[in-house]
Amino acid sequence: MRSTWVRRLERLESILRSRAHPEMVFRYGYLRRLPADSGGERHVVTTKTEPTALANVEQCEFEERVGPAPGPTEDLSFTVYLRKDEAHNSSPSP
């Protein structure tokens, strides 16, 4: 009876491990864009990452680069790109 329970537990643990996903990470930071006149395909890369006081939150710096993006990843992160030229430009228009 004991060996049956052990096998069943091992099978359940292996199923749970196969369904496990990596933790989600919230990344935010300023994006350095390419000039508007540069044509062609573009993609964004992370150039700098710093941890914050909050778990699974990272402050980053991003840069736009020419060319196609690298292949797909299984990253479940949520990313927010900020623009410096619009950071404090919230004055109401007349």
Name the phi and psi angles at 14, rounded to 5.
Answer: -65, -35
Structure tokens at 55: 């778990």
Task: Using the structure block, give the residue that is written with the tokens 């990452």.
Answer: 49
Where in the chain are the domains?
A: 22-84
The Cα–Cα gap between 55 and 36 comes to 36
pLDDT at 69: 84
Task: Tell me the per-residue pLDDT of 35-94, one tens digit each, with 9 for 90 and over.
Answer: 888 888 899 999 999 999 998 899 999 999 998 888 777 777 888 989 877 555 555 444
